[in-house]
Chain A
Amino acid sequence: MFEFITPMYVFLIFSGTLVGIIFGAIPGMTATMAVAVCLPLTYSLGLDNGLALLLGLYVGGISGGLVPAILLGIPGTPSSITTTFDGYPMAQRGEGEKALRIGIVASLVGGLISLAALFFFAPALAEFAIKFSYVEKFLIILFALTVMAALSEDMLMGIFSGFLGIFISLIGVYDVTNGGNGEFRLIPPGTEYWLEGGFSLLPVLIGLFGLATILEAAEAGMPKGQSLKDIEVGAHSRFSRSVFKGQIGNLVRSSGIGTFVGILPGVGGSAASILSYTATKTASKNPESFGKGNPAGIMASESGNNGLTGGAMVPLLSLGIPGDATTALLIGAFTLQGIQVGPLFIGNNPGTWSSIVIAMLIANIAMFAIMYFAIRWLAMVVAIPKHILFPVILMMCVIGAYTINYGIMFDVWTLLIFGVAGWLFTKIGIEVAPFIIGFILGPAAEIYFVKSLESFGTLSIFFTKSWIAVLLWVLIAGSVAGSVMLARRKAAMKEAEG
């Protein structure tokens, strides 16, 4: 049952977590980038060991962001923005080490609670989803897109980005293996040779999350890193477990919120930590102490963003829909190993399922052990110069793209195309997360939609197939209505502020 637990497996989780923490701790580099850059290393590792490395990177990457957030007031990853609110004031008071330890413990709690949610919830959801026909599967994808759009900065742009992702994913041949007719569409004449299978997923992802990030930093002139002298760890601040007294409710609530946000497709860590921070502040007896160095704020933020990790794996493993950008990359890793994630995944691959859960458990423990006992060294990671790191990352991106299909140069050009596109997207307001989810789910959505119509011959089937279909329409309508209301409230608040 547990034969996958080998010294290599444990070693890979620990190294993944360590590298993830380093990526997370360097401002401008994220967990997603860590997974993108290290994916090629998993090509010859086999599924269990490959996932062990990637899950370590994921957990470590999400957690590492708290280090610069607390020590410098700069979030290492978008998901630790709210950690700066109370962590940095504490560090300025000379309580940096205490604040870091609080954040690390909260991260562990968030990770473990969300892992429990994954363990119990994913198989149940998968079992339910096995009964879905193409009609319900299509509606689920539609629901995923509307939820993402609802939680985007700008609903219209969010949904546009999702549909743009679907459109780009349709380039190439209508795949015969899925029942298509093998005809080309959406490609300029003369490019059939390169674009027969469309753009490959991983080069697209590596471009959007690796190269685009580096281009943004280059545009900004490679902002200088912090020098070690500026970093004050506050080594004499005492950390005791009594800080957590009366905070169990906060930790559980924040982890729960993080997990829930993780389950929603395409919604990332920043939403998780912002929502749990706000909820904790609202529930607090003295909300005015938040933002001035209240440990409860760090706990809410960090347990919230680590709650994301287990949550985001739920829709991935039960429905085949990634919960955030990093889990979208994991789909790539599965595809690489020839495994399709969806409702049948857990039932058909019980070994891999246990290996994923155990890997996440070990990764959380590794994250805690590494960060708790190596705080002093972590502070030094923040100061690694970018002019040394980024060129190496660029080179790793090229390897990842080139080796994905065993040596196709067009995949390397795809990396460049989408790297530049990712940079353009941030300029014109196209959101990367919905785009990626659309791009990943596009081909499946097409099959579900066209095949449903071919079998039933009427559009009404999408409303009348089953009660689940009706329920999904209610949810879709609810998410659209909710987002319109949110947008109105935002607009009203803006007006009120003048």
Chain B
Amino acid sequence: MADLLAVSIDFETSHLLFPKLIGSILALLGLAILITHRRAIAHSGAMWAQTFAGMDKLRFFGTLILTVIYFLLMVPVGDRWPNTGLGFLICSIPFVAAISILYMHERDARSLVPVLIVAVAAPTLVWWLFTYVFALTLP
């Protein structure tokens, strides 16, 4: 019995031991889930179709697309004025405004005023706080 449980670990390959073990456990659990949840898994296509049909596509994908654009632009814009955090500030104002407008239900002039005020004030405040008070670098 003692021999069965004995293990010797080669230091060179010891980085793979635990990932392999966890990977095998995950595979076993995955198999068990496949068997016990087979009905739900068989219907997963319908579930996704339903999710997709029921979702607010404009707001959901709009959020994702705007976020990706925001992330992509922040660094190149910031590189024009290095170490000032201006990339963050310049990109955040239109991003916050755009997301706010995307999420609004009634887009009339009266409701737009507070949205635009917040879109300018919040990033500016945060930028000032981090750059000058906390002395942390923003993009």
Q: Tell me which of B22, B36, B103, B137 contacts A386 (CB under 8 A).
A: B103
B119 adjacent to chain A (CB < 8 Å): yes
Q: Tell me which of A185, A224, A391, A409 contacts B19 (CB under 8 A).
A: A185
B105 pairs with A215, CB closer than 8 A: no
B63 pairs with A156, CB closer than 8 A: no
Q: Tell me which of B32, B63, B104, B136 contacts A214 (CB under 8 A).
A: B63
Among the interface residues A181, A211, A218, which one has the most CB atoms of the partner chain B within 10 A?
A: A218
B139 pairs with A391, CB closer than 8 A: no
Closest Cβ neighbor of B41 among chain A residues:
A428
Closest Cβ neighbor of B59 among chain A residues:
A218
B56 pairs with A164, CB closer than 8 A: no
In angstroms, Cα B101 to Cα A207, docked, is: 22
A218-B103 contact in complex given A395-B92, A399-B138, A409-B75, C-beta closer than 8 Å: yes
A460-B12 contact in complex given A185-B19, A214-B63, A218-B63, C-beta closer than 8 Å: no
A219 adjacent to chain B (CB < 8 Å): yes
Q: Which of B22-39 contact A (CB under 8 A)?
A: 22-23, 25-26, 29-30, 32-33, 36-37
A396 adjacent to chain B (CB < 8 Å): yes
* Mask of B123-139 contacts with A, CB within 8 angstroms, 1/0: 10010001001111111
Q: Which of A415-468 contact B (CB under 8 A)?
A: 416, 420, 427-428, 442, 445-446, 449-450, 453-454, 457-460
A159 adjacent to chain B (CB < 8 Å): yes
B46 adjacent to chain A (CB < 8 Å): no
Say how far A198's CB is from chain B's closest CB, in angstroms: 12
User: Which residues does chain B contribute within 8 Å of A219, judged by CB atoms?
Assistant: 51, 55-56, 59-60
Interface of B is mostly: helix
In angstroms, Cα B63 to Cα A420, docked, is: 11
Interface residue tally on B, bucketed by range: 35 or more
A170 adjacent to chain B (CB < 8 Å): yes
User: Which residues does chain A contribute within 8 Å of B110, judged by CB atoms?
Assistant: none
In angstroms, Cα B23 to Cα A395, docked, is: 36
A43 pairs with B33, CB closer than 8 A: no
22 A–B contact pairs at CB < 8 A? A41-B134, A163-B25, A173-B15, A180-B14, A182-B15, A220-B56, A224-B105, A386-B103, A387-B101, A387-B105, A387-B115, A391-B103, A392-B118, A392-B122, A394-B95, A395-B122, A398-B71, A399-B130, A399-B138, A409-B71, A412-B71, A453-B7
Interface residues of A (CB under 8 A from B): 40-41, 43-44, 156-157, 159-160, 163-164, 166-167, 170, 173-174, 180-186, 211, 214-215, 218-222, 224, 386-388, 390-392, 394-396, 398-399, 402-403, 406-407, 409, 412-413, 416, 420, 427-428, 442, 445-446, 449-450, 453-454, 457-460
